[in-house]
Structure 1
Amino acid sequence: MGTHGAHLFSEIDKLRVQLLRNVQVGSDCEGAEGEISHREILTRIEGVILGIVTSLSEDEAPVLALPNRSSWANVNFDSAIGLQMSSRRSVTAVRSDCPSSVTKFAQILKIMSVIYRLVQSDSYATKRDIYYNNTQLFGSQATVDSIVDDISCMLKIPRRSLHVLATSKGLISGDLCYLEEDGTRIDCHSSSAAVSVSSNIGGIRNIVSSAKFVMIVEKDATFQRLLDGDFCAKLSPCIMITGKGVPDVNSRLMVRKIWDALHIPIFALVDADPHGIEIMCIYKYGSVAMSFEAQSLTVPSVMWLGLLPSDLQRLRVPEEALIPFTKRDESKLNSLLKRPYLTGQPDWQREMELMQQSKVKAEIQSLAAIAPDFLTSIYLPNKLRYGGWV
C-alpha cells in the first residue's frame, strides 16, 4: 500500500475538514464539570440531609425522590447531544418507613456520607472501596454502582465531581500520548500491549496525537488481533479503543475526551448483529440509564464502519459463517428500529432493515472465512480508503 499512501485516506481527510467546520467552539461537558465547586457539592448534599432532618422534626417519615433512570419516557432526543434526561422526569420515592425501600434508603445515606467526606478532604475512592467499606449493608458491588449513579443524578453532579472513581475495563492503543492528573506520562504507541483506560478521565491533560481517525472496536478479541497485527502503524496513524463489549462510563468518557481534543473522525467496528448495533448507539447517542450525563458521554459524529449487513452480501461471506436470528435478536432489532435517533439515520435504517429481512447475523471474525487476514489486509484498508461507512 506504500505507493498509495498519499491517497489512502483522502476520504478521511475530507471528512475531518467537514467535522471541523461543524465543531462548536468550546465544550459544554468540560465546562460543566469545572463549574461545580467543592462548596456547591457539599451544599447540595447538606440540602438533602436538611430535608430528612426537617421531616423527622415534623414527625414524618423521610422520603428521597430519585429520578427514574430506566424509563424511555424520561428521555428526550437531541441530535447534537443524544439521549438527554427530560426536565419533566418522573421520580421514584425511596421511603424510610417502607420495608421494601428502607434498606436502599440506608444505603443512599451511607454512600452520601462517604462522598461528603471525600469532597471535604479532596480525596478519591473507587466504587469498589465503597462496597468493601460495608459489604453487609450493600450486599453487592452492583448495588453500590447503581446508587452512586442515582446520587449523581439526584444531585445533578457528574460522578467524577463526587470524587468516586470506577475501575476501567477498556483498553486503548495507537498514536496517543497524554498526562494523567498526577503527572504520569502515558504513551499508547506500543504495538505489543494496550494501555488501560484511565479511571480519572477528567484529570487527563496535554493530549498529543497525529492520528487520522479513532476506531472503536466492539470486542476485545478483535482489538487484540488488530494490535497483534500492528494495524495502526502499518495502515496510518490512528487510535483504537475497546470497551470490551458494552462500554463502561470511562471508555465512553475517553472517546469523548479524544473527540473534544482532536476532532478527528470516529468509526465503530462492531458485529453485524443487534447487540453490536446497540453498543455503537451507546457511544454515539448514549443510554437511558446515563442520560443525565449525556453531554460528557456521547459523540454524535460516530460513524458505522462495519461490519455492515450489506457487507455480508457484497463480500459473499460464506453461509457457514453466518448465524441465524433468534427470537431475542428479532426483538432487540425491532426495539432499535423504534429508537428516536434512527429517524435521522436513513442509511442505518436501511442496513438494519436488510438484517431484518435476511434474518442472519455475523461476527467480525466471520471475515476470516474469506481469508485469514481479510479484515486487516483488505476489508479495513479498502473501507477507509473509499469511504465505506454509514
Structure 2
Amino acid sequence: TACQCHSRKEEKMPRCSVRSRKLVFRSGQGQRPLSPLVSQFFHTFYDYLICFCFTALILKLLSVIYKLVQSDSYATKRDIYYNDPQLFGSQKTLDSILDDISCMLKVPRRSLHVFATSKGLISGDLCYLEEDGTKVDCSSSSTAVPVSSNVNGIRNIVSAAKFILIVEKDATFQRLLSDDFCTRLSPCIIITGKGVPDVNSRLMVRKLGDTLHVPVFALVDADPYGIEIMCIYKYGSRAMAFEAHSLTVPSVLWLGLLPSDIQRYRVPEETLIPFSQADESKLNSLRSRDYISCQPAWEREIETMQRLKQKAEIQSLASIAPHFLTRVYLPNKLRYGGWI
C-alpha cells in the first residue's frame, strides 16, 4: 500500500511510510512537462507519536472526503480546517496531507471534492460560464476577476484574445490594468497568481491554453525566483509533481524581464539589486535542472544573470519612463518577437 504502519524487528519501533510526491522527478525533453517518479519513493517516520498522529490525520481527512463524494458536495480547504482546527493544528498541515492523499490515490485533488480558495486574478477579452450557470465577463478594463475555484467546471469559453500573458506579481498586473493594456495593444488575457501560483491559477492557464490555442507568455522579474515561478507554470513544481501532466503549459514562452534586457534597455544602475546568498543558491539549483540545460537560450540568460551578480524587478523599467513597460517594452517585445 502507499501508506503503511509496521514494526522493524531489529528496533521494535513503529514505522509509517507514505508515498512521496516530490522527492524525485524526471525532466521531460524539450517541451514536455516533468514526469514524477512518485511510485518508487517513500517518506518514512520512525517516531511513534508522529506515526500515530499522521495516520489519524489521514484517516480523518479520508472520512471527510468520503462523505463529500458520497453526497456529491464540495468543501474548501479552509472549511475543513475550521471544522476541527485543534486536530489539524495548521492550514499548512491539512494542505500537505490532502496532497499526500491525492498522490496516494493517484487522482487529482479536485476529484476529492475539495477546492482551494483562489488567490489569482484574471482580466481581458474573456467570457465564460461557471458550472452553476453564472456568466463571468473579464473584459472590464479597470477591475480584475478572481480566478474560478472550480476551473474544471468552466464552459462556453468565448475570447478573441491573440495571446495570454502570465504576470508574476500583482503590482505589475495592476499596472497593466490601469494602463488599459488588454485593449491598447491587441485583445489579450492577463492572469496573475500573485507570486508562486496556486493550483487554480495554473489550471486556468492550462485550460485557456488548451481551448484558445494562442501563445502563452510569461512576464517575471529578472531574478532566480521569477524564473522559478515561470518554471512552475511551464514544467510544474516538486510539491505537485504527481499532477504535472494536468497543471503545466509546456508552450510557455519567456517574454521578460530577461537578464539581457537590463543592459539592452540600460536599466539605471540604482534600481538593480545585488545578489544575495539565497539568490546564488537558487540560481545554481536552476542551472542543475535538465529542463534548463536543454534550452540554450534560457541557459544564456541565466549565465548573464550569474555574471552580472544583479537582479531587476519589472518595476525598474518605470525608472526609464513612467509608462515604459506598457507602451514601449511589451509592445516592442510582442511585435518583434523578443521572447525565448
User: Structures share a fold, TM > 0.5?
Assistant: yes
1:312 pairs with 258, 262, 287, which one?
Answer: 262
Shift of 1:92: 2.0
Counterpart CA distance in 1 for 2:226 and 2:99 is 25
Tell whether 2:23 aligns with 1:82: no
Equivalent residue for 1:258?
Answer: 208
Which of 89, 92, 114 is the matching residue for 2:43?
92
CA distance in 2, matches of 1:81, 1:154: 24
Find the aligned partners of 2:201 and 2:258 in 1 and give their Cα distance. 23
Q: In the aligned structure 1, how far is the partner of 2:195 from the partner of 2:291?
A: 21
What is the CA distance between 1:200 and its match in structure 2? 0.7
Find the counterpart in structure 2 of residue 212 from structure 1.
Answer: 162
Q: Mean Cα displacement is larger for which, 163-172 or 77-86?
A: 77-86
SS at match of 1:172: strand
Corresponding residue for 2:289?
339
Aligned-partner Cα distance in 2 for 1:288–1:227: 32
Q: Give aligned-pair identity as a percent.
A: 69
Structure 1 runs of 4+ aligned residues shifted over 4 Å read 60-64
CA distance in 1 between counterparts of 2:248 and 2:323 reads 32
Residues 1:169 and 2:148 are matched in the alignment? no
- String of CA shifts for 1:224-281, please: whole Å, max 9, x gaps: 0100111011110000000000000110010000011011100000000001000000
CA distance, structure 1, for counterparts of residue 134 and residue 286 of structure 2 = 41
In the TM superposition, residue 83 of structure 1 has moved relative to its aligned partner by 1.6
Residue 19 of structure 2 corresponds to 67
Matched, 1:158 2:108: yes
- Which structure 2 residues correspond to residues 105-124 of structure 1 after superposition, within 5 A? 105-124=55-74
Verify the 8 A CA contact 1:171 1:241 in the aligned structure 2.
yes
Q: 1:77 & 1:200 partners in 2: Cα distance?
A: 29
Aligned residues: 335
Q: How much is the aligned-residue C-alpha RMSD, in angstroms?
A: 2.0
Given the alignment of the two structures, is residue 300 of structure 1 paired with residue 250 of structure 2, yes or no? yes
Tell whether the 8 Å contact from 2:22 to 2:241 is kept in structure 1 after alignment.
no
- TM-score, normalised to structure 2, is 0.94
Distance 1:360 1:61, change over 3 A: closer
Question: 1:135 matched to which residue of 2?
Answer: 85
Quick one: structure 1 residues 124 and 61, their matched pair in 2 at CA, closer, same or farther if it must change by over 3 Å? farther
Q: CA deviation at 1:87?
A: 5.5
Rounded to whole Å, the distance in 1 between the matches of 2:203 and 2:14 is 35
* 2:176 paired with 1:226: yes
Question: Could you tell me which of 214, 222, 230 is aligned with 1:280?
Answer: 230
One of 45, 52, 66 as aligned partner of 1:102: 52
Alignment of 1:14-25 (within 5 A): none
List aligned pairs for 1:28-47, cutoff 5 A.
none
Larger helix percent:
1
1:360 and 1:125 mapped to 2: Cα distance? 44
- Scaled by the length of structure 1, the TM-score of the pair is 0.82
Q: Does the 8 Å contact 1:94/1:105 carry over to 2?
A: no
- Aligned equivalent of 2:148, options 184, 198, 215: 198
Q: What do residues 202-240 of structure 1 show as CA deviations (whole Å, max 9, x unaligned)? A: 111111111000000000000001001110111100000
SS at match of 2:50: coil
SS of 1:99's partner is helix
Q: Deviations over 1:304-343 (max 9, x none)?
A: 0000011000111110111111111111101101111112
Deviation track 1:41-87 (CA, whole Å, cap 9, x = no partner) reads xxxxxx989x89x99xxxx999764222342xx21112354122115
1:241 maps to 191
> Matches of 1:89 and 1:75 in 2, distance apart?
11
1:126 and 2:76 equivalent? yes
Whichever residue aligns with residue 331 of structure 1, its letter is: S
Q: Is the CA contact (8 Å cut-off) linking 1:94 and 1:104 kept in structure 2?
A: no
Structure 1 residue 89 displacement after superposition: 2.4
**Residue type at the aligned position of 1:82:** P
